[in-house]
Every structure is written in C-alpha cells, then in structure tokens.
Chains A and B, each alone.
Chain A
Amino acid sequence: MYSFDFEKPSTVADAVAALGAEDAQALGGGQTLIPTLKQRLAAPSKLVSLSGIAEMQGVCVEDDGSLSIGGATTHATVAREAAATYPALAALAGQIGDPAVRNRGTIGGSVANNDPAACYPAGVLGSAATIVTNTRQIAADAFFEGMFTTALEEGEIITSIRFPVPQVASYQKFLQPASRFALVGVYLARFADGVRVTVTGASEDGVFRWSEAEEALNKEFRPDALMDLRINPANMIADLHGSKAYRAHLVSVMTKRAVEACM
C-alpha cells in the first residue's frame, strides 16, 4: 500500500469536509478497497472512514413503509435487521462474500463501487430504491452508469438507501466459484404497479434491468411466461468461468427460479 492519512469523522458534515482534500477517498468497510490498495492500484492521499458516523448506521422502516438503510450499515446487519421487513433483500445481503466480509462490508461501499458482479446493485435497482447522498436523492434507474461507474460526484457520500418494499421478491445468485461474487445474479421484485427484473454479474455494462422479462411477467406472473425469452449473449461477459452464451442461459434459469420462489 502507498502511504495515506487516516481520518475517522463522526458526522457526515465532517466526512464531507475531510473528503475535500485532494485525492481523499471514502472508506466504507474496505472489503474491496483494501485489497485494491494492497495491489497499489489506488493511491489516495487520505482515507476517510465512514464507520464512525452514527447517522449512517442501521436499518429502519420509514412512515411510508419503505426501508431505509444507512450507508455505513454492514451486510451482516442488513441480513439480520431487514429480515422481517424485506426478507429478499436481507437474504441478498446474507449471500455477499462470507461472514467475516459481511461484518465489515457496507451497503454504501458496495453500491458506490458498482462492481459488475456485486449483489447489492441488483437489489437496489430491482427495488427501484432511492440513493440518498449528502447533497441529493438519486433514483436507482439513474444511478448505475456501467461497471464501476455511478452518478456519484467526487466527494459525494451515500448516507442511506431507501427501499420501497415489494409485495414479493427473490434474489437468485449463481456463484462464480472462485470469488463467490455472482457469476449471474437475478433480483426479481413484484410491486403493485409492476415487476422489476435486474441482472448482475452477466453484463459488460454492469447491473441492468431485463425489460423483456419484466414485460412478460407483467402480463403473466408465472415461470412459463419466460419460456420463449432469451437474452442476447452479445453484451454478456465471457471469462474463465463462463462464456457469453452460458451467462445468457443462466440469466434465464435464474430469472425463472426467482419467479418460482415468488409463487
């Protein structure tokens, strides 16, 4: 690791101020950032830990029934505390990494990083969640801009994410056997006004909505509705662990399983 300064503010305002320094970077749980630093692939002048900010911690149900999760809330906390209100999202959080990683990794860190194979982006986009930052609110549909790219400005912090709770939802994750990120992960959420289907792990462009599947399921919410649907393999990722065609196939299988799980 290159040398850097470390700061651990206790308020969002202080964190924003600290991030004003040149090449300062926010530190969530560090479960991706620290390995990156070890490889010397990043050289921040200062890391600003968000783990000491009480207002960014925890899971709570808002008056409108939506679930608000503080940006610095760990995956383990979400898995535990969202289980009653939003079981599918809690289940997703409980499938990220491994127990020790879940005790450190945070929702804000994961969503801000937007790894193309991460789980949370599928849950956030699939839930039509709202990303709340220190300056604004961003709809999930406008947030994810391609792999490792988001609508966040420099120094902008995800303070919380607000999830409308669907009638029913399911996350189906097919493991990449080495990293145990998603080789393909499909999040399906059924709201009163329609179904959302999001896919992670599969595309060069990061998380995306599979609109054809959404349309088909809006017409008829059962596994067979997907029968003739195939996703175009052209934009899929091809690597050691699966070809484009295989990933495209898995998108269909995982989506069908998500529907079955919601029946």
Chain B
Amino acid sequence: MPKDSGIGASSKRREDVRFLTGAGNYTDDINVHGQAYVHFLRSDIAHGRIKSVDTSAAEAMPGVVRVFTGKDFEGVGGMPCGWEVTDKHGAPMQEPPHPILAQGKVRHVGDPIAAIVADSLEQARDAAEAIDLDIEELPAVIDMKAAAQDDATLVHDDLKNNICYDWQLGETDDAKVDEVFANAAHVTTLDLVNNRLVANPMEPRVAVGEYKRGTDEYTLFTTSQNPHVIRLLMCAFVLGLPEHKVRVVAPDVGGGFGTKIFHYAEEAFCTFAAKACGRPVKWTSSRSEAFMSDAHGRDHVSKIELALDADNNFIGLRTNTYANLGAYLSTFSSSVPTWLHGTLMAGNYKTPVIQVNVKAMFTNTVPVDAYRGAGRPEATFQLERVVDKAARELGLDPIALRRQNFVTQFPYDTPVALTYDTGDYNGTMDKLEAAADLAGFAARKAESEANGKLRGLGINCYIEACGIAPSNIVGMLGARAGLYDAATVRVNATGSISVMVGAHSHGQGHETAFPQVVADMIGIDESMIEIVHGDTSKIPFGMGTYGSRSLAVCGSAMVKATEKVIEKAKKIAAHLLEASEADIELKDGQFSVAGTDKSVAWGDVTLTAYVPHNYPLEVEPGLEETAFYDPANFTFPAGAYACEVEVDPDTGQVSIEKFTAADDFGNIINPMIVDGQVHGGIGQGIGQALLENCAYDENGQLLSASYMDYAMPRADDVPFYGVDHSSQTPCTHNPLGVKGCGEAGAIGSPPAVVNAVLDALNSGGKAVDHIDMPVSPSRVWAAMNS
C-alpha cells in the first residue's frame, strides 16, 4: 500500500497552489521603487580588439542615468572560476581574467561591452544605439582542434595557447595502455560529438540590485540555484563587499538545470550599479539575449576505444576528448570535463585499465559550464555508444554484453578515482527488461515494419556520482569551495516548524518533500512544517541545488538538525514526565516514558521550551538547532534505460515510440516527485538526442540564436514514459539512504535514443556505425544514403 504521508508518500506539492493561481513570486515579478533598467550592449562579432567605445552621445540621450564600460570595472575583480584543475604535467590550468564588461577585446557574440542604465528599458536600448564602437575584427577561434594548433589565433593574448589544461585521469603509463590494446582480441573505436546545448530554463535570467545608503546594505534579487554561493563569490572575488552587508535572494526560480548555478556578470553589475547610480537597477534577459549570455552545456569532441578479450570481457578503455570551455571560465566550467566526466568513465563496468585524456579549449564562443548531468552525460554517451557498437561488431546481445561486464561486488574501487558504495546493476536491468516488455519487442517491430517503418531498440546503462560532495576530496581535486550543506530547524512555541535549508527549490519540490522527512521523524503532520529557502538573510548557509545533491546533502543536514532538536526536546519531556531522558521515546508526536502510559505531546514540549517555567535548569530555553553536513562519499544512482524508435525510411524522421527507465535511487521520499524528475530528465535527453543543437558558423556567429532555430522538445516529440524505481540499494553513508534523481534522465536517455536509431537502421539493412546528435531527419537520411 502506498503511504499517504511522510517518507515514501506521494504527497501533493503544496507549492503548486501558488504556481497554479499566478501567485508565484519570480524575480521579474519584483519591482523596487525607483528602479532603473539596464540594457547591455553586446558584441555582435565573435572576436575583436576594442579600439574605442564612445558613450558621450548615449549619455546625453533622454532618460539615461549612466553608461558603464569596461573601464568602470578596472578597480574590481573579474568573474571567478571555482575550480582549479591541475594538468597532467602538474601545472595549474591557464586562468584568464573575465571582466564584468569587456576590457581590451570582445571574445564571443554576446560579450557585454557597455551597460546603459536608464529610466526605461526602451530608453536604454535607444541609448545603446548611440554608442560609437570602434572594434577591429579578429579571426574567430571556433573549431577546437584548430584552436589547439601552435599557430592558432589566441583567444586570450596573455596565455601561451588556447589550451586551458591538458588533463589525464586513470592509467598514467601510456605503454601499459598500449599493451592492453595490442593484446586485445577486439578493439572498438568511435569518434563522436556531444552536441553543444543551451539549458533553456523557461524563466530567463533576471537580476535586481538595490542599495540602501543609510545602512550601506545591498540586496540582490536573482534567478539563482544557490544564493549563498553568489553572495560569497560576488563579495569575496568580484566587488570586494563584506558579506554581512549583502543579502542575496533567489525567490521562485523558473528552472535552472545548471545554468543558474553560476555567478554571472549581470548580477555583479546590478549590485554595483545600484550604488553607483543611487537607484535600484533591474535587468531582465530576453530569450534572444539568453542564448548568447547563459552558459552553454556539453560540447565535447571525443575518440573512445574499448578493448575486449576473447571472452568479451572489457579489458581496457581509452578516451581522448576536446572539451569546449568557450571564451572565459564560467564558475564551475573547469570541473565539468574533468572530475565530473573522467571519473564516470568506468560506468557500470569492471574495466580494469582506463585512461581518460581531456584537452579543454578556449574558443570565441559563449562560456560552457554545467548543464543537467554536467560531464556525466558526456561520459555515459561515449561509453554506452562504444559498448553498443562493440556488441554490434561482435554480433552479441547488447544486454548480455553489458551484464557480463557489470560490477557486481561492492564497494568497488574504479580505476578512475571513485568508490561505488552500493548498487545492483543486474537487478536494475531485470526491472528494465520487465518494465519495458523487451520480450514483446519483436512483435512491435513486425508491426512497425508492416507500416513501412524501421523499428529499433536501444539499451543504455548509466551510473552517476551525485550528492556532491565530500569537501576534503573535492578540495584535493581543486575545488575552491566546500560542498557541504546546512539546515536550521526552528521549532516555534506552538510546535510548528520552520526549516531553513541551503538547498534551493526551483522545481524539485523541496517545499513538499523535505517536510515529509521531518514529519516522519517527529510524528507530526507535514502541514506543520514549512521550508524556507533562497534568502541569505534567512538561512544559515548553503551551497545550493545542483548535482542531485539537495536531499542527499542538505536533506542530511536537515536530519541531523532535527535529531538535535529531538534530543533537546527529549530532555524537556523527561523533565516534564519526571523520567530519565534515556527512557523517553518519541512516536506520533508524543513523548512517552518507555513501558508506562505517561506521555506528553510535542506541542506541550515545544511550548515549554519557550515558556520555561517548569524546565530543566541545565537546558537552554528555545528549540532551534542548526547542522552542517559534509558527505563522506558521493552517492551513485544507477540505472538501465530502453528506448524504442521508429524511423521513417523516406524522410529519416525518428519518432520515440516507447521509453522505459529503471533507476536505482536508493530510498525515495516522494515517489511522485522522483518520477517527475526522471520524466523531465528524459525529456531533455530526448531533446539532446533528436532536436537540440547550439551551432556556430566558422565566423563565430550563433546560428541557433532563438527558438526559431534551437529546437526545444515539445509535447508531441515525446511519448508517455515508463519509469520503475523499485530497484533500491540505499546509499550506505547518508542518514536517509538516498542517492539523488535529478540528472538521471538526462544522463541515461541520449545514448538509449541513439542506440535505438542505429539498431533500427542496421536491422533495416543499413550499415551505419554512428550518427552524431541531434539525430535529425536530415542526418539520418544522409547516413542511410551515404
């Protein structure tokens, strides 16, 4: 029987009511009295040397408050990168400056050159047209392999080349890797591209900066997944402000998917300009602006080689990847192709020798950073595509080949730096085979063929490292931040509870799921618990929401804080019941003395904490506890996905006919929300596989600069999905046994889709080894006819 409340219940989301009635409070809904509007004049060329920016005419335009250029920011810091990667020779990555407004050069289409603050947005835009720019156009650096050549044009003149770092993980002895491949019975090689994407949360980014002269206090309202991180980075590295004078608020946020993790120049600008102009300053991105100013995702070009022995065991894996970082280092960009990518290259398999090589490149494109999955989809795509190709080359069943090579003993130390604590990949695959009705595939294929369509089945397995992350480990790996999280449980006198959490909810349903945990621990109704998030003035601290970490890390902090509350409440209850604290039990909101019928209700204890007349002298009044939680390890959600497609042989059009996901997320708090997270991830993964493509031409012009050319998945591009979450191996090292579910769908689905298309083509008699994503009709048709 499904539960109707607490852990394991599909509680309906309380936040829905405000969203469904138009009562949400998104950043663009916030208007501050007297606010001015900023418009950023952005580069329309990819690469150029700024000779002059004459703003005098613009400054004289009606309504203009002030015009800023790069010169106005020479005294402040640039946008920081939060992760220093060390290259394979021990040198730190090349780390060029990233000014708030361009200084010296423009380096991508969309690079902000000037900011015009005016009474109205249209006045600011009018004034932008009056700015006289003299920019000498330089050759654009777009292709990553060309960018790596010695004679390539430099994106950053002060760097020695365009290579941010040349990084390696796994086996360092090239000769040993060569030997494994030389001795292999079979080697499968694949060149592939992981297409550049734009995250496209439906809410464009917005920032409103406010400054109060009387108290010297700043407030920044921003569309962020992690307001504390923004405050820390902006105060410590960019503007040099004391944190206690700066409040950052991320109210309702309309989706993030990674792209709202990063600290953006517009946030620092609005904060800075609010003081400089003496007025609140608001910026609202248009969608077109978002395409050239939100950090992009993915964009890897890889060669992967898999070595198998005569018994089809995986014996070696080698990858060489060019990873595009764009023109500047975005906040976490350097970590994505390295520690979030290379470490996942073992996948679900016990391959003993793995070598991962990554060259990260500067190009004249928008900065690239984490997008849903962040590095892990790129790793999974390579691995699962090459495994699938190996199965085809060897005439093996792709499921049997995978099963044969699964890791089955836990904990398992991979050759690429991780320790998987638990999992059951065969068990999850069993669930998939049943849920996807793989036995019925042949009949469905025959039916499709009778209708003139090719039908294919694609299988994929994935593992991801979530619950990011143990601070001591990531510190060793170059992170310039700790990745713990925090929660304060504030019990009010009447027994209701406010839980201040560092995680930020922008679709994940924390406001509903987190109370389910606390309610279960105390035995009170979920409605007595309120989650407070997104405001640095209200919550102790928090590293925010990304990497499927909210419940595993922040939720653990919340559990720890609740345990402290319960411990203290038991002392009070023991006093009231005149019993020993050790004999006090808490169940269903009642403290009772074990073995007796003496009890006192939760609300009476909480009231006593605040009206401490009859009270233990050694206990402080009040009932509020804070806990910080630093995880001991990553969590390792894993799963197996199956996709069935039909291909129209006349047009190359692919349609997804059936999609099934079997995931092992460990314990689940709210199954409804978890299923929804997987649905959404699959939708985005199908988008990457079939539709989405952020493309530049050779001059660095963005070809997919709006929804007219960037194909977002729509309702009729996708089917209903089957999801099965009954395979559950609880995480061994966090109190809830949870692993995280936010990214799984986006990681697991692209290879399943592409494998399915290739299965359809090959079983239809077309020998096609690979098609790069998006597997568009034109590409499928070209592959069929090449």
Contacts and interface: CB of A to CB of B under 8 A. Distances in A.
The reply, when asked whether chain A contacts chain B directly with Cβ atoms under 8 A, is yes
Interface of A: 1-3, 38-40, 174, 177-179, 239-243, 245-246, 249-250, 253
A177 B651 contact: no
Contact of B778 (A38, A39, A40, A242): A242
A145 B703 CA distance: 26
Interface residues of B, number: 26
A177 B774 CA distance: 11
A179 B707 contact: yes
B693 interface: yes
B708 A240 contact: no
A245 B652 CA distance: 13
Interface of B: 122, 125-126, 286, 288, 650-653, 691, 693, 695, 703-704, 707-712, 717, 776-778, 781-782
B122 A3 contact: yes
Given A178-B712, A243-B778, A246-B778, A253 B650 contact: yes
Contacts of B781: 246, 249
A3 B121 CA distance: 12
B693 A240 contact: yes
A119 B108 CA distance: 35
Contacts of A241: 709, 776, 778
A80 B509 CA distance: 41
Given A2-B126, A177-B691, A245-B782, 7 more contacts: A3-B122, A178-B710, A179-B708, A240-B703, A243-B778, A246-B782, A253-B651
A1 B126 CA distance: 9
A27 B652 CA distance: 39
Nearest to B703: A240
Contacts of B653: 174
13 contacts: A2-B126, A38-B286, A174-B651, A177-B711, A177-B776, A178-B704, A178-B707, A178-B710, A240-B703, A240-B709, A249-B781, A250-B651, A253-B650
Count chain B CB atoms within 10 A of each CB in A174, A243, A246, A250 and give the residue with the most: A246
Contacts, number: 50
B384 to A, nearest CB: 24
A239 B707 CA distance: 15
A178 B711 contact: yes
Contacts of B709: 178-179, 239-241
A246 B782 CA distance: 8
Contacts of A174: 651, 653, 777
Nearest to B774: A177
A240 B710 CA distance: 9
Contacts of A253: 650-651
Interface SS majority for chain B: loop
Contacts of B122: 1-3
Contacts of B782: 243, 245-246
A39 B288 CA distance: 9
A79 B652 CA distance: 29
A250 B651 CA distance: 7
Contacts of B712: 178
Nearest to B709: A178
A252 B671 CA distance: 49
A214 to B, nearest CB: 21
A177 B654 CA distance: 12
Contacts of A2: 122, 126
A1 B129 CA distance: 13
Given A39-B288, A178-B712, A240 B695 contact: yes
Contacts of B717: 177
Given A177-B776, A246-B781, A240 B707 contact: no
Q: Which 8 A-B pairs have the closest CB atoms?
A: A178-B711, A177-B711, A242-B778, A246-B778, A179-B708, A253-B650, A178-B709, A177-B691
A99 to B, nearest CB: 12
Nearest to B648: A253
Contacts of B691: 177-178
Contacts of B778: 241-243, 246
Nearest to B708: A179
A3 B120 CA distance: 12
Nearest to A249: B781
B533 to A, nearest CB: 34
Nearest to A177: B711
A240 B711 CA distance: 11
B638 to A, nearest CB: 32
Contacts of B703: 239-240
A69 B706 CA distance: 33
Contacts of B126: 2
Contacts of A250: 651
A257 to B, nearest CB: 8
A174 to B, nearest CB: 7
A169 B695 CA distance: 38
A80 B125 CA distance: 42
A241 B653 CA distance: 12
A38 B707 CA distance: 14
A182 B711 CA distance: 14
A110 to B, nearest CB: 16
Contacts of B707: 178-179
Nearest to A179: B708
Nearest to A250: B651
Contacts of A179: 707-709
A249 B652 CA distance: 11
B704 A240 contact: yes
Contacts of A239: 703, 709
B62 to A, nearest CB: 11
Count chain A CB atoms within 10 A of each CB in B695, B710, B717, B777 and give the residue with the most: B777
Contacts of A246: 652, 777-778, 781-782
A3 B782 CA distance: 47
Nearest to A40: B125
Nearest to A256: B650
Nearest to B781: A246
Contact of A178 (B651, B708, B777): B708
A38 B691 CA distance: 26
